[in-house]
Amino acid sequence: MDLPVVSEETAPKKSGCSAGSCGSSDDQLGHLADDIRQKVQDHPCYSEEAHHYFARMHVAVAPACNIQCHYCNRKYDCANESRPGVVSELMTPAQAVKKTLAVAATIPQMTVLGIAGPGDPLANPERTFATFRELAVKAPDIKLCVSTNGLSLPQHVDELAKHNIDHVTITINCIDPDVGAQIYPWIFWNNTRIHGREAAAILIEQQQKGLEMLVARGILVKVNSVLIPGVNDQHLKEVSKVVKAKGAFLHNVMPLIAEAEHGTFYGVMGQRSPSPAELKALQDSCEGDMNMMRHCRQCRADAVGLLGEDRGAEFTLDKIEQMDIDYEKAMEFRAEVRAGIQAELDAKRAAAHNVVPIANAPAGRPVLMAVAAKGPLINVHFGHAREFMVYEASHSGARFVGHRKAESYCAGDETCGDGESVLDKTIQALEGCEAVLCSKIGYEPWGTLEAAGIQPNGEHAMEPIEDAVMAVWREMLAAGKLDAPLQAKKRA
């Protein structure tokens, strides 16, 4: 994989905000109370804007789980918080602390340490809290975060509060035990394995109780839900309403990952995953009730780096052993880097604040555009992109709506190997997008994309994403391309 580093190319640079080009990322934080904004502004999962600038890491200290989900096979990562792929190294708390300090010293933008598996962190409370306890002392500038299925949550809420853990994710796939019985074959509860509807009812009750207890203690709660077509797709809007009413801060609806080769029940049974269009439609329908997260990358339980990148290979246990870490010195550097990013974001928000709305804004339909970028600038060659961020541009601005995974078209040369079939797959992944913005693109893929109805654009290299997306939208508008509805063949 193309391992991204925070370099001149990927580091945040200027990100001026021209009229009409600021979308949800700025608006997202504007309405929040100061104390909440402090908690989310540098958390890459809780703020869409922050995910362009700040990194997170997970330490895989929690191997066991107390429930079974039909989408999980723990030879692969926890599907709640990770894409399938084995955890490379299970760690002891002491190793996890060492790794965290090494990453923090190397990646100053790493602001959050999460424990998200590969099992359930609260089914492994000694290992989880030993890690948090030590990090709270040794790296007080790192936010601590945990993701759980919620079964054991109520009994651990006080401990979570004691360690100053401000962010907790609960995976809630249903609030109806009949739906739950189709997702969870069993739970392990009071030393007994319980099956079916009864198991789902206990799990749901514990999740809801845990949510209420966390909110009562002022801890921010994000709810993750796995969208499973035909099982909970009709039900998740109700879930969204209920968790919002109970005080959850953010709802992250993620697509089911079910491949037969992962050996999960759903994978083997041929349960399908939702399409990007189905996922977006559900997220849109929930949005009136709830803040929706759309930038989740379903990370591995040992992920390191910006969301969507994986620098884990740089921090294996043997490599960490070789590192000489002066954390006090690193803390100074971290503070400098973060102050720089903060100044950058403040300037961006001030510019957004000063934008005067355009009277009689021109009509023109919304357009989906794919963007090849790491961070806030358009800085990735089309042929190197492993994912594309998708923005919806309209007269009200550019709005991040999701991302699409892709295979790298080629490793530096557009004419290499079996580039054609990879390109076909990328075109399928970009279904519904009318333009793709990247730093550069080769002649061949350009022609193939154009023929497929996706206009390539390499003219906005190193420009802020939202500005570039809006510039392209305005060009399309001026060219009269946005008067008629999009032809059905291009939309999902």
Structure tokens that stand for 274 in this block: 């939702």
Cβ proximity to ligand SF4, 72 vs 398, nearer residue: 72
Q: Applying CB under 6 A, does 45 fall inside the site for ligand CLF?
A: yes
Contact window for ligand CLF (CB under 6 A) among 110-118, 127-135, 277-285, 466-474: 110-118
* 47: contact with ligand CLF by CB under 6 A: no
Stretch that binds ligand CLF, among 11-19, 91-99, 109-117, 436-444 (CB under 6 A): 109-117
Report how many residues bind ligand CLF under the rule CB under 6 A. Answer: 18
| Burial (Cβ within 10 Å: 0-12, 13-18, ≥19) of residue 350 | exposed
Residue 74 sits at the vertex; the CA angle it makes with 69 and 80, to the nearest 5 degrees, is: 50
Of the candidates 39, 235, 297, 384, which one interacts with ligand CLF according to CB under 6 A? 297
Among 15, 169, 379, 439, binds ligand CLF (CB under 6 A): 169
Contact flag: residue 147 with ligand CLF (CB under 6 A): yes
Q: What CA–CA distance (Å, rounded) separates 438 from 457?
A: 6
103 touches which of ligand SF4, ligand CLF, none (CB within 5 to 8 A by kind)? Answer: none
Does 81 interact with ligand CLF (rule: CB under 6 A)?
yes
Nearer to ligand CLF, 99 or 395 (CB): 99
Minimum distance of ligand CLF from residue 50's CB (angstroms) = 11
| Residue nearer to ligand SF4 on the CB measure, 54 or 76 | 76
Q: How far apart are the first and last CA of the chain?
A: 29
Q: Which does 297 bind (CB under 5 to 8 A by kind): ligand SF4, ligand CLF, none?
A: ligand CLF
Q: Rule CB under 6 A: is residue 374 a binding residue for ligand CLF?
A: no
119 interface partner picked from ligand CLF, ligand SF4, none, CB below 5 to 8 A per type: ligand SF4
Is there binding between residue 78 and ligand CLF (CB under 6 A)? Answer: no
Give residues in contact with ligand SF4 (CB under 6 A). Answer: 65, 67-69, 72, 74, 78-80, 117, 119-120, 149
Please report, as a single letter, which amino acid is at residue 310. Answer: D
Q: Does 299 bind ligand CLF (CB under 6 A)?
A: yes
Cα 430 to Cα 15, 151, 388, 423, 474, distances in angstroms: 26, 38, 8, 10, 21
Which residue in the set 56, 262, 348, 474 belongs to the binding site for ligand CLF (CB under 6 A)?
A: 56
Residue 58 in contact with ligand CLF, rule: CB under 6 A = yes
The answer to the question of residue 122 lying near ligand CLF (CB under 6 A) is no
Among 41, 124, 148, 298, binds ligand CLF (CB under 6 A): 298
Which of ligand CLF, ligand SF4, none has residue 69 at its interface (CB below 5 to 8 Å by kind)? ligand SF4
The only residue of 61, 296, 370, 422 in contact with ligand CLF, by rule CB under 6 A: 296
Q: Is 223 in the site for ligand CLF (CB under 6 A)?
A: no
- Contacted entry of ligand SF4, ligand CLF, none for residue 147, CB cut-off 5 to 8 Å set by kind: ligand CLF
- Nearer to ligand CLF by C-beta: 20 or 114? 114
- Of residues 81 and 434, the one with the C-beta less far from ligand CLF: 81
Asked if 282 contacts 255 with a C-beta cutoff of 8 angstroms, the reply is no
One-letter amino acid of 469: V
The answer to whether 440 touches 427, Cβ cutoff 8 Å, is no
- The residues of the shown chain that bind ligand CLF, judged by CB under 6 A, are 45, 56, 58, 81, 112, 114, 116, 145, 147, 167, 169, 222, 252, 296-299, 307
